Structure 1
């Protein structure tokens, strides 16, 4: 008997039309359109130009709504999103560089140089 592997779409798969995304995020469809125009959450577009939201987009919508609830304006939210994205990209780059440096140190052990203790890299942690 062979097992069939079913691949689940990832969190970045643009699957949800605007009405479903609005329901999942707890927001009005017009709010989702506004956030798209402002560049806060940018869903993919289907061939007919309709918006298609991913689970990541829906999580972003919830984050935007939480930040608005905390009194942050749209321009501030956009800047926060940009900075968090840049920070996540840098954390990934640092992790890659650590792997590379560790491999080089393993190939060429330093003489008289203490090897550093490894610290975990936290890419992003959302507060509850």
Structure 2
């Protein structure tokens, strides 16, 4: 029986680069460029083939949206880093404000 967590793991790389590019409406060289800028890091097979996850596809859609808004790749990198930091801080704030073990609720 297949472990259901494996089937529904949005972070697991399953799409090859050409399929991922088609799913998000981008060119394959664009995906390589975004990776070179550190905007995403797809999984790799033991042979080095890129494998994109559902999360990677969402990230590519975010990149496309920012590009359409006129933001350059350096700016996109900064925006994505800030979004990740804000999400981390939000999780930390919720943890600290939750009564019980791991948070005092104060």
Q: Structure 1 length normalisation: TM-score?
A: 0.73
Which residue matches 1:121?
none
Provide the rounded CA distance (Å) in 2 between the counterparts of 1:66 and 1:32: 14
Provide the rounded CA distance (Å) in 1 between the counterparts of 2:14 and 2:97: 35
**Alignment size in residue pairs:** 102
Matches within 5 A, 1:1-128: 7=4, 8-99=7-98, 102-103=99-100
> What is the DSSP-based 3-state SS (H/G/I as helix, E as strand, rest coil) of the residue aligned with 1:87?
helix
Provide the rounded CA distance (Å) in 1 between the counterparts of 2:61 and 2:88: 21
> What is the DSSP-based 3-state SS (H/G/I as helix, E as strand, rest coil) of the residue aligned with 2:23?
helix
Provide the rounded CA distance (Å) in 2 between the counterparts of 1:103 and 1:9: 30
Q: CA deviation at 1:6?
A: 5.5
Provide the rounded CA distance (Å) in 1 between the counterparts of 2:53 and 2:63: 15
| Structure 2 residues not aligned, in runs of 5+ | none
Provide the rounded CA distance (Å) in 2 between the counterparts of 1:5 and 1:34: 35
Provide the rounded CA distance (Å) in 1 between the counterparts of 2:3 and 2:53: 19
Q: Structure 2 length normalisation: TM-score?
A: 0.87
Aligned CA-pair RMSD:
2.1
More helix by share: 2
| Structure 1 residues not aligned, in runs of 5+ | 108-114, 117-128
Is the 2:12–2:43 Cα contact (8 Å) retained in structure 1? no
